[in-house]
Chains A and B, each alone.
Chain A
Amino acid sequence: MTQRDKQNFIVDEREALSAYFNALLTEENILVADKTAVVTEPLVKVVATPEALVAPPVVAPVVIPDERVGEIEAAPEAIAEPKWKEESFQVMLFKVAGLSLAVPLAELNGVQEWDEAIVTPMPGHAPWYLGLVNYRDKQVAIIDTARFVMPEDRQGKLAEEVNERLNRIVYIGDASWGLACDEVAEVITISPEQVRWRSNRTSRRWLAGTVLEQMCALIDPPVFAEMLEKGMGLEDLGV
């Protein structure tokens, strides 16, 4: 908690949201590792450049948050540009474990009420894999979205009993995956300028960007589906 507070100070409005998601979706120990990495950098610079010796030591703490933001900040160019990104597009908002997620309507296949009775659990899979549902004559794999996207150390608060938590299933892409979530909120129209796009997607590749006004994370469904297929969850975070 204190780590996040420290990290978020002196961050401007637009960057604050990225920092928020970064903190929310990153394991505590990674944050610590990142912080130390950031702290050592300016120190090395101070030793390397002779003129830096003159600089008062007070400068260093000011530099730290800037560097941190620079890391989080994503250049506006993305890896693969989805079509729906080009002009104004609609997204549907839904919630998992307090986190707001947005899925572009273009990539949305349908929404269904959660009912444990319709889900057939499959043996021996990851804890985030709930099982199969027969959706429109097709066997669709259902994912416990919270368990998939949230780092392990933040999953402790999640109710073990899925029925208490899950209310809806959001089908993405060609309905090969269903994301079980807490609740489905409204559909909104957003323009690409309202989104802080991520380009450097080395971690959390499913996160296309963040919608500033609604404070929500925009999912890139094809990438999300690809990650699910490979069974990438936390390992993709670099744990």
Chain B
Amino acid sequence: MANEEDQTNESVTEWVTFHLLDEKYAVNVTHVREVLKNTNISPVPGAPYFVLGIINLRGNIVTVIDTHSRLSLAASEPTDSTRIVVVDMDGQVVGMMVDKVEEVVNLKESEIDYAPNVGNDDSSNFIHGVSQRDEELLILVDLDKMLDLEEYRG
């Protein structure tokens, strides 16, 4: 019994899936703190182009980024399903505005495809890999790179 378990004991990671335009993306669940409904965001003058502003989350100030522009995607109008995914990267708490949050999926290591990376464009580095789920392709985002702190300061 134990042996059988070992054989199938391929490392499994959990991913929170969300929508941006027509595509489905995912971030590793270990970084996700909570998911909020869209609230009032106070703009920050002089912030990088992809920073929408800040929100007050139970007394803590959290920066909210526009995930669309961070990934060089076309903008989309906020709707009822717009959510802010609050992620924690080594103590840095950031909110990511997404079109819709869907579910948490388990992915085996073998299900993750490290697709060919084309060129050396900056934003293509944000992609950790892809995973085919039924008819859909899930794009796994590398949060470390997407929320590169150096770039925030720059």
Contact = CB atoms under 8 A, between A and B. Distances in A.
Interface of A: 120-126, 129, 132, 134, 139, 141, 176-177, 228-231
A126 B118 contact: yes
Q: Which of A120, A126, A141, A229 has the most CB of B within 10 A?
A: A120
Say whether chain A's binding surface is mostly helix, strand, loop, or mixed: mixed
Contacts of B127: 122-123
B116 interface: yes
B73 interface: yes
Contacts of A228: 118
Contacts, number: 62
A125 B115 CA distance: 13
Interface in B48-71: 71
B151 to A, nearest CB: 14
Contacts of B13: none
B81 interface: no
Contact of A231 (B113, B121, B126): B121
Q: Which of A124, A129, A141, A176 has the most CB of B within 10 A?
A: A124
Contacts of A121: 23
B42 interface: no
Given A125-B124, A132-B137, A120 B116 contact: no
A231 B120 contact: yes
A33 to B, nearest CB: 26
B8 to A, nearest CB: 21
Contacts of B139: 120, 122-123
Contacts of B118: 122, 125-126, 129, 141, 228-229, 231
